[in-house]
Structure 1
Amino acid sequence: MPFGAMSASPIQTGQLGGDPDWWRGGVIYQIYPRSFVDLNGDGVGDLAGINSRLDHVAGLGVDAIWISPFFPSPMADFGYDVSDYRGVDPLFGTIQDFDNLLSSAHEKGLRVLLDLVLSHTSDQHSWFQESRVDRTNSRADWYVWADPKPDGTAPNNWLSIFGGPAWEWDTRRRQYYMHNFLAAQPDLNFHNPQVQEAMLNVARFWLERGVDGFRLDTANMYAHDPALTDNPPRSQPAVPGVPEQNPYAMQEPIHNINRPETLEFHERLRKLTDEFNATTLVGELGVVPDMYASLTEYTAPGRLHMAYSFDLLGGEFKAQFFRRTAERMSRRAGECWPSWALSNHDVARAISRWRLGSNAQTAAPLLMAILCSLRGTPCIYQGEELGLTEATIPYELLQDPYGKRFWPEYQGRDGCRTPMPWASGAAHYGFSDATPWLPSAPEHGPLSVNDQDMNEGSVLNRVRRFLRWRGGFDQLRKGDIRFLDADPDVLAFLRQGAEADMLCLFNISDRQRSFETGEFTSVAPLTGHGFSGELLGLGVILPPFEAFFGTVPPQTWG
């Protein structure tokens, strides 16, 4: 459909409303639509499929869903290359399917966040098609164009995250255009006021339709240095989320991303979002030189409500790693509200990344409990509630352009994007009647939703039990956090409450551990969360990969 064709459509539903601070500690469930449920039988998930399984999501006890892009797209980067911001790609259905999904989600108490990709478009977007015609058309300056150096080479040394230079030659304009990702994803020029207005109008379109906010893709990559200054070499050894085989890790991208002008746009976007009831903005901050300084900047008053942190998407499965990461966040980012995740559509699943496959039955619920007990807003990626592992995709079936570029040392993102297993006895485990766009992993069949439904002690039922229990405690949603010294294998902290603080203990090992409670005048064990840590005298006994929750008298904070 042509750009803007849906702008006159009636609003189908309003925002869910209620507590304007619902996002502070609310649980967000990420849905990757290509791989959730295929209802029309073409092997690719769709919006109607998501709608058909909303009871599963709502039954987990989460507060909102974040849907990865479903807008019209050539799918060079599977929807993160948008060719029309106001429509639905036929692969995923129609705008009516979206309205139905939004209405159903709201009826079930689920808020809906869209994944907005504002930093770049597809090269098939009508804006870019016009921009590349010549240097004088009405959108000539909507993208980042630059003349070559006298020898014909690229304007500077900026690199693409997907490998190689961040510049692509265009024969019609006889100029280079900038792309932080694929050459098929040209970057918009946020120094152009018309571009900013166009992006704000996109956000308004969906807000008026009733969405409850946005997850902002690459929220720190909107603006660039107009002087096109070369980036310096990188002084640190690694970049979170960037494989070491990628030369991007050798450069400090301080001039093509992380620019102060981006913050000014976020202030405009926040002002717009605040016109609507109980909405929120969560920004993905990728490849930042100082995550904590960036959090402080991007979530300052009048900007983003929270920022999506990559800090737990790497590291080691050790108590010290979780404590060090969260304490550093509190110390460096102060009152800023983080959004935590252990997995998403861009990184290997946590169970495999931390080599917990042999203990997945107990480790997976523990991971969810840790994620949802830290101060911040947790994001759960589809399949984590089942304890899914990373799938292995043979090269001939690989879809991810990033993986193809750096194969075999880096195998890309397809392994975390395989179809959700719904029923082990059905074709493709209930995802689709047709051959899926990515193969269903055989090891995922026994972990299907239907199979786990029938097992009270399954990962799924343990996660459900915990998330529903968690929803009744303000300490875990909005309370401050203070870490406690403990056995090296025990993660221990307090969450602050108005009438009582909560003691949270997690055994991050496959051996029994204990925690001495002597410093507290009394500890009252809490039940109903599904974990088996036990208070005995002045200590808590923690079986392998188990947790304990109890209340203690209000402590001195400060």
Structure 2
Amino acid sequence: MQPTDRAPDYLTGVTPLPIDPDWWRGAVIYQIYPRSYQDSNGDGVGDLLGIAERLPHIASLGAEAIWISPFFTSPMKDFGYDVSDYCDVDPMFGTIADFDRVVTRAHELGLRVMIDLVLSHTSDRHPWFAESKVSRDNPRANWYVWADPKPDGTPPNNWLSVFGGSAWHWHPGREQYYLHNFLTSQPDLNLHEPVVQEALLDVVRFWLKRGVDGFRLDTINFYFADKYLRDNPPLPREMRNDSIAPGVNPYNHQLHLFSKNQPENLDFLRRFRAELVPYGAAAVGEVGDAQRGLEIMAEYTSGGDKVQMCYPFELLQPSRATAPFVAAAFDRLSRAAPDAWPCWSYSNHDTVRHITRWRLSDPAARAYTTLLMCLRGSVCLYQGEELGLPEADVAFEDLQDPYGIAFWPEFKGRDGARTPMVWETSNQAGGFTTGKPWLPVSPTHLPLSVAAQEDNAGSMLDHYRRAIAFRRRHPALRTGAQSPMIVSGNAIEFLRIGGGEQVFVAANLGEGTATALLPLGEWRVAGQGLGVDVAPGTTEVVLGPWQVCLLSRSD
């Protein structure tokens, strides 16, 4: 993307951080789920002022940015991912002035602010949809994906919803179906209409002027549907993958060739990127595709004219990321586009926390954390991950997630990853609220609270701080190139090269021992306390279970 002479247009009172068009490259981004981070008024639901209060904790980790999940006005059928007003704050979370306080406090601490934009669909309560559904000839009639039924009255094609059942819902007023890739209350926008694209870009401009430093783009590959509404083909059983939908969901039985991943998206992303340039803002897209996630990510992030980074689902899968799996993912990515930029994460608000999902012991969790900080790309951490929180066990009667309720008991939904953050052990709410929390705080989380780990030099919290600091100290880890990965059993080895230095990484991702061959030359041990000691002149090192070797040298 070429530089621009257009000056940033901030609202009065906003204090932006210095513009750095590459701030995102190699950055550590901390995801905040606002309902569950900190409640400031005792109603049991987290809010924006609570976030502002707790930002020093994130700064102390060494993270460079925060990503706040949706806080916009919403009926909360999907907890904010069903937006009814893109340019205001839901009263549950506070006011627009409270959001400004979050930006101001974050910038004081040197943290950039990214917000979660849901551009593929709105709530059915959005004024746009309220007008669109009235008739087939009103000014917003084509703002959503509407289609006539087949002659027998059935939906126009076989597309399925991620949340189960048909992706089409009948509307008697228009005598047509509308598309919803998620809940029936989340109708899909029709981005084939230029006026819809412009309306969404106006939303982007609104928040850029309020001082945000970037966006997380929900379901980025769902923006366009096939204009001919062709049927999706079946997905062969051997290709099925549960990283997006559990096996109990028939969504995972289709190859979603036409309901998402359409080529028209590339031109829209170029228009979107142009809006970011004057502000030095960045975007990370969520690529929800179990079969082609890395390749789609490469399409969306290569060339420097679309989004800066995307996070695929490869490291969010149920199966543990073994050494061969990680190496194969990077090999696929390098072949798809050498300049593509991933944003890696192990956990988020939609997945079982990786400590539980991969059944990790404490040493294993530490090894994976260190590895994450050494991978080429940027990093997203999910709140509570730095405490080593496992998935919470939420009883059916306490469930809030519509996905979990729909697929219970085979799939317990996403609430187990969304329970409140634990700040202290003095009460059952873990310092999150003085009232009754919207989801129960897990008793297994309380001993892992921030207060319990804060001054413990051997805690998981301390390990995260040291691993993030190690990444920030080494330019090669933040922005450098990465050599092809070498795998031997459970061991993985690679080099990071850039910024006048090289960093050698070897990690044993298993319970047995592994031998790593060290590179030739004069190296020094790096990452004090994160890896094993290696004597000068050593040519190989035996790594015990879950041990890491980190070496560095100047070019």
Q: Same fold judged by TM-score > 0.5? A: yes
Match of 1:343 in 2: 347
The answer to which of 416-425 and 14-23 deviates more is 14-23
Correspondence 1:328 to 2:332: yes
Shift of 1:238: 2.1
Letter in 1 for 2:261: N
Higher mean C-alpha deviation, range 33-42 or range 307-316: 307-316
For 2:447, what is the secondary structure of its paired residue? Answer: helix
Q: Which runs of 5+ in 2 are unaligned?
A: 1-8
2:283 corresponds to which residue?
Answer: 281
Aligned to 1:291: 293
Distance between the aligned counterparts of 2:296 and 2:290, measured in 1?
A: 7
CA–CA distance in structure 2, aligned partners of residues 209 and 467 of structure 1: 29
How many Å apart are 1:452 and its aligned residue? Answer: 0.4
Moved more, 42-51 or 461-470: 461-470
2:245 to 242, 245, 249: 242
Q: Which residue of 2 aligns with 1:268?
A: 271
Query: Deviation string for 1:254-283 (max 9, x for gaps)?
Result: 21211111111111111111122x210111
Deviation of 1:10 after TM superposition, in Å, equals 4.2
Aligned amino acid, residue 256 of structure 1:
S
Map of 2:382 onto structure 1: 381
- 1:310-341 Cα offsets, whole Å, 9 max, x none, are 11111324222222222322233321111111
Amino acid at match of 2:371: I
Using the TM superposition, give the Cα deviation of residue 544 of structure 1 relative to its aligned residue in structure 2, in angstroms: 3.2
- Whether the 8 Å contact between 2:327 and 2:487 is mirrored in structure 1 is no
Match of 1:34 in 2: 35
Q: CA 1:35–1:240 in structure 2 vs 1: closer, same or farther (change >3 Å)?
A: same
RMSD: 1.7
Name the SS for the 2:76 alignment partner. coil
Distance 1:115 1:94 in 2: 17
Distance 1:477 1:192 in 2: 39
Q: In 1, Cα distance between the equivalents of 2:527 and 2:316? A: 30
TM-score (norm 2): 0.94
Aligned partner letter, 2:292: D
**Partner of 1:170 in structure 2?**
171
Structure 2 residue aligned with 1:82: 83
- Matched residue SS, 1:80: coil
1:475–1:496 Cα contact (<8 Å) kept: yes
Please name the residue that 2:5 is paired with: none
Matches for 1:388-399 after TM superposition, within 5 Å: 388-399=389-400
Matched, 1:422 2:423: yes
Structure 2 distance, partners of 1:532, 1:262, is 43
Give the Cα separation in 1 of the matches to 2:510 and 2:524. 24
| Closer/same/farther in 2, CA of residues 513 and 534 from structure 1, 3 Å limit | farther
Secondary structure of the 1:199 match is helix
Indicate if the aligned counterparts of 2:403 and 2:413 stay in contact, CA closer than 8 A: yes
Aligned residues with identical type, % of pairs:
50
Contact 2:10 2:209 in 1 (8 A): no
Contact 2:327/2:486 (<8 A) preserved: no
Distance 1:148 1:365, change over 3 A: same
Residue 503 of structure 1 aligns to a residue whose secondary structure is strand
Gaps of 5+ in 1: 1-7
Q: Which residue of 1 aligns with 2:517?
A: 516
CA distance in 2, matches of 1:288, 1:275: 34
- Using the alignment, how far apart are the partners of 2:205 and 2:23 within structure 1? 21
Query: How many residues align structurally?
Result: 541
* Distance in 2, Cα, partners of 1:181 & 1:247: 13
Please state how far the C-alpha of 1:380 moved relative to its aligned partner. Answer: 0.6
Q: Which amino acid aligns with 1:354?
A: W
**Range with bigger deviation, 365-374 or 338-347:** 365-374
- 1:289 Cα offset (Å): 4.1
For 2:204 and 2:68, the matched residues in 1 are separated by 15
CA contact (8 A) 2:289 2:313 kept: no
Structure 2: how far apart are the matches of 1:292 and 1:252? 16
- Separation in structure 2 between the aligned mates of residue 549 and residue 212 of structure 1, nearest angstrom: 33
Please, what TM-score do these two structures have when normalized by structure 1?
Answer: 0.94
**Alpha-carbon contact 1:258-1:288 (below 8 Å) kept:** no
> Greater shift after overlay, 264-273 or 14-23?
14-23
Shift of 1:285: 1.0
Tell me, in whole angstroms, the C-alpha distance in 2 between the residues paired with 1:123 and 1:83: 8
What is the aligned partner in structure 2 of residue 371 from structure 1? 372
Equivalent residues of 1:520, 1:552 under 8 A apart? no
| Residues 63-100 of structure 1: CA deviation (Å, up to 9, x unaligned) | 10000000000000000000000000000011011000
- Aligned to 2:483, what secondary structure does the other structure show? strand
| 2:208 alignment partner in structure 1 | 207
Contact 1:427 1:433 in 2 (8 A): no
Name the residue aligned to 1:4. Answer: none
Q: C-alpha distance in 1, partners of 2:42/2:293?
A: 42
